[in-house]
Amino acid sequence: MGVVNVTPDSFSDGGRYLDPKAAVARARQLAQDGADIVDIGGESTRPGAAPVSEEEELKRVLPVLQEVKHLPVSIDTRRPGVMQAVLAAGASMINDVEALAAPGALEAVARSGCAVCLMHKKGEPATMQRDPRYRDVVGEVKSFLKERVKTAMSSGIEAARIVVDPGFGFGKTAAHNLELLRRLKEFAALRVPLLAGLSRKSTLEKLTGRPVEERLAGSLAMALLALQGGATILRVHDVRETRDVIAVWQAFRGNL
Ligand code: HH2
């Protein structure tokens, strides 16, 4: 899954793809580089980000979606109004960092035939990194996702349409993220595909000391660890390079 942020303030590519033409070109490039899904977002959810209005979010994502809807497009949103509009405009997947918690979100997804990513986060983007605490991060994230899968299914969203994501960096310290990564295999118990988003995230700054534009090597190491832990969808900014990691992983596993 390749990332296109149509925002002025995303942590790694903010401002680069705010112009719809640049965002469309980026989406096409990611697909050419080997992305199976292009994830388009109109609101930054990085720690400390300010929320945007529904109108503004739609103004950012719709023109881009119109141009690339022949590709499998996921829209990164937590607003039911945005979900409805983008599904009507041809989006194939909703990627919701709030796991369809907003009133009307479950219904918007259930009514369509789209896929959905249910992600865990603790707290709100504005404050979630202040002092996140867990007694057992893996246990808490897992039982949250288990409950959201159950709720989604009882709202009419079939299991075959659902993927889950532990939400690396969303109300989690570097130690929490590493614990999740070490025990990622335990999420197989949820019996739906696992998505992991570790690309360029600030845990890599903690581990390597590198600024965001120098985190490719760290991101690729994280991608390999996520594959080893059973992730089958990697949400990344550097698709071409991550494809190579996947090729090596698959060969190692004997699929050559
Ligand atoms: N991470 C980000 C945004 N959306 N969605 C899922 N499912 N999983 C993630 O880990 C995830 C996500 C944050 O990264 P990015 O989109 O690059 O930045 P920003 O939120 O600042 O736009």
- Per-residue pLDDT tens for 94-111? 999 999 999 999 999 999
Position 247 confidence tier, pLDDT thresholds 50, 70, 90: very high
pLDDT for position 128: 79
Cβ neighbours, 10 Å, residue 43: 26
Ligand 1 site, CB within 6 A: 3, 5, 7, 10-12, 41, 44-46, 49, 76, 95, 97, 117, 119, 165, 167-168, 195, 197, 235
CB 166 within 8 Å of CB 209: no
Classify residue 124 as exposed, middle or buried by CB count within 10 Å of its CB (0-12, 13-18, 19+): middle
100-159 residue pLDDT tens: 999 999 999 999 999 999 999 998 877 878 888 999 999 999 999 999 999 999 999 999
Residue nearest to atom 1 of ligand 1 (CA): 197
How many domains does one find in the chain? 1
Distance set, CA 222 to CA 151, 176, 231 (Å): 30, 14, 11
Minimum CA distance residue for ligand 1 atom 15: 10
* Confidence check: pLDDT of 47 > 80: no
Does residue 59 carry a catalytic annotation? no
Question: CA-CA distance, 73 to 30, in Å (whole number)?
Answer: 11
- Between CA 246 and CA 48 the distance in angstroms is 32
> Do residues 180 and 138 lie in contact, with contact meaning Cβ atoms separated by under 8 Å?
yes
Residue of 201, 206, 215, 253 marked active site: 201
Residue 235: active-site member? yes
How far apart, in whole angstroms, are the C-alpha atoms of residue 192 and residue 190? 6
CATH number where 14 lies? 3.20.20.20
Residue 200 Cα: closest atom of ligand 1: 17
CA distance 194 to 91: 20
What residues make up the domain containing 81? 2-252
